[in-house]
Amino acid sequence: MSARTIGVIMNGVTGRMGYRQHLVRSILAIREDGGVQLADGTRVIPEPILVGRSETKLASVAAQHGIERWTTDLDEALANPGAEIYFDAQVTSAREKAILAAIAAGKHIYTEKPTAESLDGALGIAAAARDAGMRAGVVHDKLFLPGLVKLKRLIDGGFFGRILSVRGEFGYWVFEGDWQQGQRPSWNYRAEDGGGIVVDMFCHWAYVLHELFGHVNAVTAKAVTHIPVRYDENGDPYDATADDAAYAIFELPDGVIAQLNSSWCVRVNRDELVEFQVDGTDGSAVAGLRECHVQHRAATPKPQWNPDLPESQRFRDQWQRVPDNDELRNGFREQWEMFLRHVCEDAPFPYDFLSGARGVQLAQLGLASSRQGRRIDVPELELP
């Protein structure tokens, strides 16, 4: 069986998500397992080339994992003819410029979200990749969560009948940083640095809703900054200029209404950090990160409102767990293997730059809806 290596420039993987999910649990795990097998039997082994701003961090990660090549000079990495793929996990403000440079250098592009700071920028890099003939993909990790895989299975199997509504709750309490260190970097709460939960999470909600239920036709949103002062990594106070919670209504095809709350200022009283409830004429489901539970119309109880008596029914116990049925692997790795096959043998990869642009579009329109206090239509996107 033949094998070949493919260089993957990885920019920004010293951060939490880039390091754990993309480098360690995806690229290095694929490399350690002997690469990705193509349809003709060839195995393609990814070889990471690390790029970042901190020489100390890069050297430490490279030494820890036996990575030979790393640099703080992106142009140097892009000049490497053996590197066919550029991956970006930087802060959003640096992404568009780096991706355009990678496209100009003839690299295929795989990137985190948001793909750019503006819709024009997101469409611009999509058009640039198309015109250059480069393959491009965007991380759509939530679709690979076991809970949402099971939910998609229910939708495809017609379990719900006519879907009526979607209710989503995402978030947890992120400490302010004064008496307990915050769990997220301080730039997340500075709008001038690309922070904000709308920019962060609406990019996810765009593809989750689009892939499961259809195009978002309209949005009504309210973005707020509940905690105006936070403390940075050095313990110094700073003004939180970005939204830390968002409450939104999304209008979907066939009259389906989705209500999604996103918050870093909520204490969790649910089974998982994100949960989606889908209600239909024939049944309902509640899906989280890993689990999914259903209730069919024939097994639906008939509660009655009576504030004078304690509730005797245990409603959670009346739902049925959806079985795994398949062995579901790490979703980030699954997408990396898909993208490597996409580059090497033109295998399908549906999550392209246009899909990434939809996320940027929905975030921009969500913020506009919040500022203007009104419902805003979401037009279909086309590349210029």
Question: What's the pLDDT score for residue 15?
Answer: 87
- The pLDDT tens digits for 332-369 are 999 999 999 999 999 999 999 999 999 999 999 999 99
CATH 3.40.50.720 domain span(s) along the chain: 3-138+331-347
Question: What's the pLDDT score for residue 38?
Answer: 96
Question: What's the pLDDT score for residue 134?
Answer: 97
Whether the predicted pLDDT of 32 surpasses 80? yes
Average pLDDT over residues 200-213: 97
Question: What's the pLDDT score for residue 383?
Answer: 87
Chain centroid to Cα 248, Å, comes to 18
Question: What's the pLDDT score for residue 42?
Answer: 95
Whether the predicted pLDDT of 384 surpasses 90? no
- Residue 237, strand partner residues: 231
Range 3-138+331-347 classified under CATH 2.160.10.10: no
Average pLDDT over residues 39-46: 96
- The pLDDT tens digits for 350-360 are 999 999 999 99
CATH 3.30.360.10 domain span(s) along the chain: 142-328
381: confidence class by pLDDT, cuts 50, 70, 90? very high
Whether the predicted pLDDT of 57 surpasses 80? yes
Question: What's the pLDDT score for residue 326?
Answer: 86
- The pLDDT tens digits for 136-160 are 999 999 999 999 999 999 999 999 9
The closest alpha carbon to 86, from 31, 113, 130, 49, belongs to: 49
Q: Select the more confidently predicted residue: 381 or 1.
A: 381
CATH number for 142-328: choose from 1.10.540.10, 3.30.360.10, 3.30.930.10, 3.30.390.10: 3.30.360.10
Question: What's the pLDDT score for residue 312?
Answer: 87
Whether the predicted pLDDT of 1 surpasses 80? no
Average pLDDT over residues 170-186: 96
Percent share of the chain, pLDDT over 70: 100
Question: What's the pLDDT score for residue 295?
Answer: 98
251: confidence class by pLDDT, cuts 50, 70, 90? very high
Chain centroid to Cα 325, Å, comes to 24
The answer to whether residues 199 and 363 touch, using CB atoms and an 8 Å cutoff, is yes
Question: What's the pLDDT score for residue 181?
Answer: 94
Q: Select the more confidently predicted residue: 328 or 247.
A: 247
Question: What's the pLDDT score for residue 223?
Answer: 98
Mean per-residue pLDDT of the chain: 96
Question: What's the pLDDT score for residue 16?
Answer: 86
- In whole angstroms, what is the distance from residue 158 CA to residue 152 CA? 10
Question: What's the pLDDT score for residue 311?
Answer: 87
Whether the predicted pLDDT of 300 surpasses 80? yes
